[in-house]
Structure formats: structure tokens, C-alpha cells
């Protein structure tokens, strides 16, 4: 579904990513690990098409179509959707109005209930929201869009230990059960690329493949749960060493 080939990206003349190769097959959930500043969010934002990220080499394919030069709205219409690590506040725009505009054959009421967002619907998007509330607001907006590929940038960071179950189960419901669509109108088995540091989201979602991004490039890939254990016990050093020895 998503194929990234030799992707090299710069921002303001600074090289952030180089020769990145990565793919997500239809119905698969892949995970992106890596230390702070590795370029994980930059990669997600490049896939989504944020204009400050300039692709200087390589390409991004989505369902076989080259989307490297497409603007962000066209990518969204094709079925790409992002839950940002740090989304902006939107003064003057109520969450309920944004969700209404974004909704694409979805049933926001179920999502609002699942994510306990009713009391936020009349407030301006993210303005004054706590860290955890922003994550739930972001997930609600994304789920309303009903993308076929979910790009989730640290969905659990800042979410308390009780709400993590709510967020984790909602993500599982979205990816595996079509939670956001009434009846059978929604295709099940969505694809996802998830960035996580702690791996908490993987307690709820079955992940198929993991990638480790260091210094702006993919160093290795493999079983995501095994990778997480390795990172927890040995950090990222082994991956870098292993790559250098190849
Ligand atoms: N617009 C920009 N201008 C200059 N540098 C940038 C810009 N965007 C990102 N960077 C730099 O690129 C590097 C990668 O940033 P990125 O946000 O992708 O890291 P990350 O892997 O997501 O880290 P974290 O785990 O902390 O979220 C960082 O050093 C960051 O400061
Ligand atoms: Mg990041």
C-alpha cells in the first residue's frame, strides 16, 4: 500500500532523511522506532506531504501511484491520514465543526463516546486542552476522516495509564474492526505506520513489522516486539553497529 524508495529529504537546506526505504502492505501495521531527533516525525510529515519537507531524491508510492509531488489535501483524499505528535491549536474553530467537515462516511458519535470527547466538542480545537486530551482530539479527527492508511505519531505519549487503554482499544477498533463506520459500510483491516517510544500501543494493536530509524535513515527492520525488547535492554547502539559492519 505504501512504498518508500530511497527517500532523501531536506528542510531549509538541511538534510533530515537520506535513502529511506520502507513499506507497509495492505492490512499491515508497521512500527517505526528510533531515538529523539532521528527523523521519525519528519518522515511521517513527508509521507503526508507537508510542504516544508523537500524531497530531493527517491519517491513515495501509495497504492502503486507516485504521490511524491502531490499536495497534502490530495494525499488525504486518496486515503492517507496523520495523527500528529504536536498538532496546532485552532482558535475560532470548534471541534464539533471540524469533525463534521472531516467526516467521511463515518459515525463520529461512536468515536466521541469511545474517546470520552463529548465535553470538548463545543471548544476550540486543542485550545487549552491537556496533553492527553489533545491526543484524543487528534485521534477523533483522524478517525472521522476514515483513512485507509493511518500515520500515528506517538499516539500514547502524554496519555495517562487509564486513558491509554481507551486510546489503545480505539486504535485497535479502527484498524481491525472498522469502529468508525456504521454497519458494514467501512472496509475492515486498515493499514498503519505507528511511531512509539514505549511500545505501549503494541499492547493493544498487533504489529507486523518494525523499523529502526537512526540519524535520518532506516538502520534495520524485523519483528517489532523483539526489536522493542532489544531496544529496552541494549538501546539503539547495537543496531547502528550492526549496520556499520555490513
Ligand atoms: N523545519 C525544520 N527546520 C530545521 N530542523 C528541523 C525541522 N524539522 C525537523 N528538524 C530537525 O530534524 C531532526 C528530526 O526531527 P524529528 O521531529 O523528525 O525527530 P523525531 O525522530 O520525531 O524525534 P522525537 O522522538 O523527539 O519526536 C531534529 O533534529 C529536528 O530538530
Ligand atoms: Mg517525533
Residue nearest atom 26 of ligand 1, based on CA coordinates:
36
pLDDT tens for residues 115-147?
Answer: 999 999 999 999 999 999 999 999 999 999 999
pLDDT tens for residues 72-95?
Answer: 999 999 999 999 999 999 999 999
Please name every residue paired with 151 in a beta bridge, in sequence order, or none if there are none: 82, 193
Give residue 239's pLDDT band: very low, low, confident or very high (50, 70, 90): confident
Rounded to whole angstroms, the Cα distance separating 60 from 185 reads 29
- Domain range for 231: 2-245
Domain count across the chain: 1
Candidates 41, 211, 216: which one to mutate for ligand 1, based on the most atoms within 8 Å of Cβ?
A: 41
Point out the ligand nearest to the CA of residue 214. Answer: 1
For the record, the C-alpha cell of 196 comes out as 512509539
Q: Does pLDDT of 162 surpass 90?
A: no
Rounded to whole angstroms, the Cα distance separating 72 from 74 reads 6
Among 55, 48, 42, smallest CA distance to 150 is for: 48
Residue nearest atom 17 of ligand 1, based on CA coordinates:
41
How remote is the CA of residue 48 from the centroid of ligand 1, in Å? 15
Please name every residue paired with 38 in a beta bridge, in sequence order, or none if there are none: none
Degrees to nearest 5, angle at CA 163 with 161 and 166: 125
Q: Does pLDDT of 242 surpass 80?
A: no
Q: Taking each helix axis from N to C terminus, what angle separates 163-177 and 131-145, rounded to the nearest 10 degrees?
A: 10
Specify the pLDDT at position 128: 96
Rounded to whole angstroms, the Cα distance separating 85 from 135 reads 8
How remote is the CA of residue 241 from the centroid of ligand 1, in Å? 23
Q: Is the pTM of this model over 0.85?
A: yes
Ligand 1: residues within 6 Å at CB? Answer: 11-12, 14, 16, 34, 36-42, 52, 85
CATH number at residue 70: 3.40.50.300
Which residue has 532523511 as its cell numbers? 17
Q: Ligand 1, closest atom to CA 38?
A: 21
How remote is the CA of residue 135 from the centroid of ligand 2, in Å? 14
Print burial letters for 135-169: b (CB count within 10 Å at least 16), e (below 16). bbbbbbbbbbbbbbbbbbbbbbbebeeebbebbbe
Amino acid at each position: 500500500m505504501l512504498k518508500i524508495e530511497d527517500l532523501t529529504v531536506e528542510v531549509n537546506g538541511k538534510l533530515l532523511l537520506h535513502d529511506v526505504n520502507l513499506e507497509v502492505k495492505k492490512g499491515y501495521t508497521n512500527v517505526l522506532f528510533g531515538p529523539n531527533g532521528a527523523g521519525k516525525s519528519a518522515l511521517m510529515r513527508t509521507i503526508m506531504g507537508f510542504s516544508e519537507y523537500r524531497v530531493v531524491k527517491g519517491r513515495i508510492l501509495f497504492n502503486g501511484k507516485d504521490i511524491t509531488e502531490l499536495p497534502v489535501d490530495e494525499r488525504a483524499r486518496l486515503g492517507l491520514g496523520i495523527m500528529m505528535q504536536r498538532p496546532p491549536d485552532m482558535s475560532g474553530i470548534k471541534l464539533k465543526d471540524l469533525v463534521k467537515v472531516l467526516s467521511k462516511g463515518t459515525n463520529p458519535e461512536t468515536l466521541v463516546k469511545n474517546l470520552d470527547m463529548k465535553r470538548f466538542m463545543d471548544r476550540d480545537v486543542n485550545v487549552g486542552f491537556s496533553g492527553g486530551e489533545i491526543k484524543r482530539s487528534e485521534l477523533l479527527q483522524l478517525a472521522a476522516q476514515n483513512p485507509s492508511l493511518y500515520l500515528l505519531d506517538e499516539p500514547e505519549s502524554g496519555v495517562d495509564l487509564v486513558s491509554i487503554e481507551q486510546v489503545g482499544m480505539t486504535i485497535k477498533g479502527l484498524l481491525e474492526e472498522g469502529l468508525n463506520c456504521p454497519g458494514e459500510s467501512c472496509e475492515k483491516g486498515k493499514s498503519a505506520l505507528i511511531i512509539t517510544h514505549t511500545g505501549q500501543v503494541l499492547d493493544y494493536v498487533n504489529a507486523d513489522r518494525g523499523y529502526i530509524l537512526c540519524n535520518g535513515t532506516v538502520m534495520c527492520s524485523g519483528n517489532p516486539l523483539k526489536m522493542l525488547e532489544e531496544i529496552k535492554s541494549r538501546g539503539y547502539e547495537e543496531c547502528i553497529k550492526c549496520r556499520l559492519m555490513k
